[in-house]
Copies of this chain bind each other. A is one copy, B any other.
């Protein structure tokens, strides 16, 4: 079977991926709320929190910093990504070969697919190469499955999100990272669509503690195995405290109120 449960990026079958590729995808502007987060060390430090089961970064951030954190953090090599300086039909450059990611010590790989983009077919074929190379190294594969582009009217539509989750299953991802469609019931539809592929909720832009934990709770109740989150952690004043709250909701499946008490 597929190498998820025994992988170091899972803790009791759950995952909390701390994503930190915003410097590439959005640029330094994402670090404005908490300027010290521009320094990758600040976020690698956050990732040493027990709740974080893997940190997702681009190649350069792994090369330069992972050697100092490899004992304390699991590395999810985000293989593709692009700047938002370029504003055409959604696409993403493959910036990292799986072989090299494995050499650097990656525990898993991540790959974005923009279903519905004019570039979907090319991206799917790039995904194929990455996925099959990852299989050779027994690395779990996480798909950032984000329908987007000319063909999409509403990328928050529950049918679209369920379709995205299904694409991850059909194409061979171990974990599908999808947007939260708005309710537990709708998230459960996506989780069902994903079949054996596990689903994690994508964090998105920053919201209030309660709002965010409520979404995460909704996702966990729907059967998602966890969360991939960036700004909602490291754009907060006290990320460690908020990770305490997320840890409660995800791994202990507490209520939102109990989790808020831990923050």
Contact = CB atoms under 8 A, between A and B. Distances in A.
A24 B132 contact: no
A1 B64 contact: yes
Interface of A: 1-2, 21, 23-24, 27-29, 38-40, 58-61, 63-65, 67, 81-83, 85-88, 91-97, 100, 115-118, 120-122, 124-125, 127-128, 131-132, 135, 147, 149-152, 159-160, 162-163, 166-173, 189, 192-193, 195-197
22 contacts: A1-B67, A21-B170, A23-B169, A27-B162, A27-B166, A28-B189, A58-B170, A60-B169, A64-B197, A82-B120, A85-B160, A85-B163, A86-B151, A91-B121, A93-B122, A93-B125, A94-B125, A94-B128, A95-B127, A96-B172, A97-B132, A100-B132
Contacts of A159: 27-29
Copies of this chain, tallied across the complex? 5
A125 to B, nearest CB: 5
Contacts of A91: 121
A92 B64 contact: no
B124 A82 contact: yes
A69 to B, nearest CB: 13
Contact of A85 (B100, B152, B192): B152
Nearest to A173: B60
A196 to B, nearest CB: 4
A147 B86 CA distance: 9
Nearest to A87: B151
B86 A116 contact: yes
Nearest to A160: B85
Contacts of A151: 85-87
Given A27-B159, A94-B128, A162-B28, A86 B115 contact: yes
Nearest to A189: B28
B170 A64 contact: no
Contacts of A82: 120-121, 124
A151 B124 CA distance: 26
Ranked nearest first, the 5 interchain pairs of A and B with the lowest CB-CB distance are: A85-B116, A93-B124, A64-B196, A60-B172, A24-B170
Given A60-B169, A60-B170, A60-B172, 19 more contacts: A1-B64, A21-B170, A24-B166, A24-B167, A24-B170, A27-B163, A28-B189, A40-B169, A60-B173, A60-B197, A63-B172, A83-B115, A85-B120, A86-B120, A93-B121, A93-B128, A94-B128, A96-B172, A97-B128
